Amino acid sequence: MVKDLYKSFNTQNGALPVIDKIGFEVSPGEVVTIVGASGSGKTTLLRMIAGLESPDRGTMTLDGKAITGPAPERAMIFQHFGLMPWLNVMQNVVFGLKSLPLSADEKIQRARESIARVGLMGFEDFHPKHLSGGMQQRVGIARALAVRPSVLLCDEPFAAVDAMTRLLMQTDLLGIVTEQHATALLVTHDIEEALYLGDRVLVFSSRPARLIEEIPVLIPKPRSPEIRTTPEFQALRAKVWRLLQEHTK
């Protein structure tokens, strides 16, 4: 749960307000997506929930416990993959497990399972630069999954991959999240992605981000890409689009 969060950054031109009184709750197993304009403060919000940045004011809790720093219960998938270029696929995923009390063998075993789950078996020894963008993001997803987090924080995970790959990976991620009963908070500026993946969509204003509206997406899961063409989906899309336009400077 996030309550009354405020955040601003100190810049050469003074304080830059980025998050303006944001609060919401996410139930266990729920997938909540966030849409907002570029630069509105979405990454900043996720980084705060991940414990990588602290809010100026407000409270953040997970299962009743205050969030005070990074922890394996909250794993993040980054907008630009966030891989270590000098490590291979296996080493990148194992690196994500460094703070867990597991033996080296257990870490490798876990990493192997999650690499297989994202379809990268056989690429364990490859370095990121020898993988496509979509494959690099699969490594990012595998690294987060291997931790077995209770909350998956996804920051525009498909923004840097081509449209075709994005469609395939969205359906894949939806499957993974459902099968692991994971709770997920996913940020995107793609309205269709937000509606396709989310049980609920939070619409943010442009900077400083405020929560304009929460839109439940009552389309049953599992969902297939075809739902995007239904009148129900299109009506939701038009609604989110209108809200974003009204609240984007």
Ligand X SMILES: Nc1ncnc2c1ncn2[C@@H]1O[C@H](COP(=O)(O)OP(=O)(O)OP(=O)(O)O)[C@@H](O)[C@H]1O
Please state the closest distance from residue 43 (CB atom) to ligand X, in A.
3
User: For ligand X, how many residues bind (rule: CB under 6 A)?
Assistant: 15
Single-letter amino acid, residue 117: R
Kindly write out the interface string for residues 157-196 of this chain, putting x where it contacts ligand X by CB under 6 A and - elsewhere: --------------------------------x-------
- Residue 188 lies near Mg ion (rule: CB under 5 A): no
Distance of CA 51 to the CA centre of its chain: 14
Regarding 35 and contact with ligand X (CB under 6 A), the answer is: no
The residue (of 178 and 206) whose beta carbon lies closer to ligand X is 206
- Asked if residue 144 lies in contact with residue 81, where contact means CB atoms within 8 angstroms, the answer is no
Q: Please identify, among the stretches 37-45, 98-106, 194-202, 225-233, the one whose residues bind Mg ion according to the rule CB under 5 A.
A: 37-45
Across 67-217, the runs of DSSP E, i.e. the strands, are: 74-77, 151-155, 183-188, 200-204, 211-216
- Single out the segment in contact with ligand X by CB under 6 A; choices: 31-39, 91-99, 110-118, 212-220: 31-39
Under DSSP, is residue 74 helix (H, G, I), strand (E, B) or coil?
Answer: strand
Q: Which of 207, 233, 240, 247 binds ligand X (CB under 6 A)?
A: 207
| SS3 state of residue 80 | coil
Closest residue to bound ligand X by CB: 43
| Minimum CB distance to ligand X, residue 11 (Å) | 5
Interface pick for ligand X out of 33, 43, 92, 150 (rule CB under 6 A): 43
At 125, the amino acid letter reads D
**43 touches Mg ion (CB under 5 A):** yes
Q: Please compute, for residue 66, the number of CA atoms within 13 A of its CA located in the half-sphere on the CB side.
A: 5
Please state the closest distance from residue 234 (CB atom) to Mg ion, in A: 27
Nearest distance in Å: CB 125, Mg ion: 31
Site size for Mg ion, by CB under 5 A? 1
187 neighbors 43 (Cβ within 8 angstroms) = yes
Whole-number Cα distances in Å, 155 to 50, 87, 114, 152, 244 = 11, 22, 19, 10, 19
Provide the 3-class DSSP secondary structure of residue 142.
helix
The minimum distance between CB 225 and ligand X, in angstroms, equals: 24
Across the strands, what pairs with 186? 33, 154
40 binds Mg ion (CB under 5 A): no
Measured between alpha carbons, how far is 147 from 25 in angstroms, rounded to an integer? 23
CB of 217 to ligand X, least distance (A): 21
Where do contacts with ligand X occur on this chain (CB under 6 A)?
9, 11, 16, 18, 36, 38-44, 79, 189, 207
